[in-house]
Amino acid sequence: MQVMISVVVPLRNEESTIKELHARLLEVLRRLGRPFEIIFIDDGSTDRTFEIAAKIAPLKIIKFRKNLGG
């Protein structure tokens, strides 16, 4: 069984960078040739971070209603 790679990224108010971050992660992970998943955690963003992330694939996203990261 191959090891799956999970990349978990906490985000807060990253609407201007989220697409580029995902593209760069995807490029690197695909080159590895192993199963992977990308998980973004929206930590209470007040901008459009979640709405933009919801349109990106492949991606799993978790949304916190308020900032829990301090």
**Within a domain: 69:** no
Q: Which residues contact 52 (CB under 8 A, 6 or more apart)?
A: 15, 18, 19
User: How confident is the prediction for the chain on average, in pLDDT?
Assistant: 93
Q: Give the pTM.
A: 0.89
**Within a domain: 42:** yes
pLDDT tens digits, the chain, 70 residues: what are they? Answer: 566 999 999 999 999 999 999 999 999 999 999 999 999 999 999 999 999 999 999 999 999 988 777 6
Residues, the chain: 70
Give the range of the structural domain holding residue 52, as residue numbers without chain letter: 5-64
**Within a domain: 9:** yes
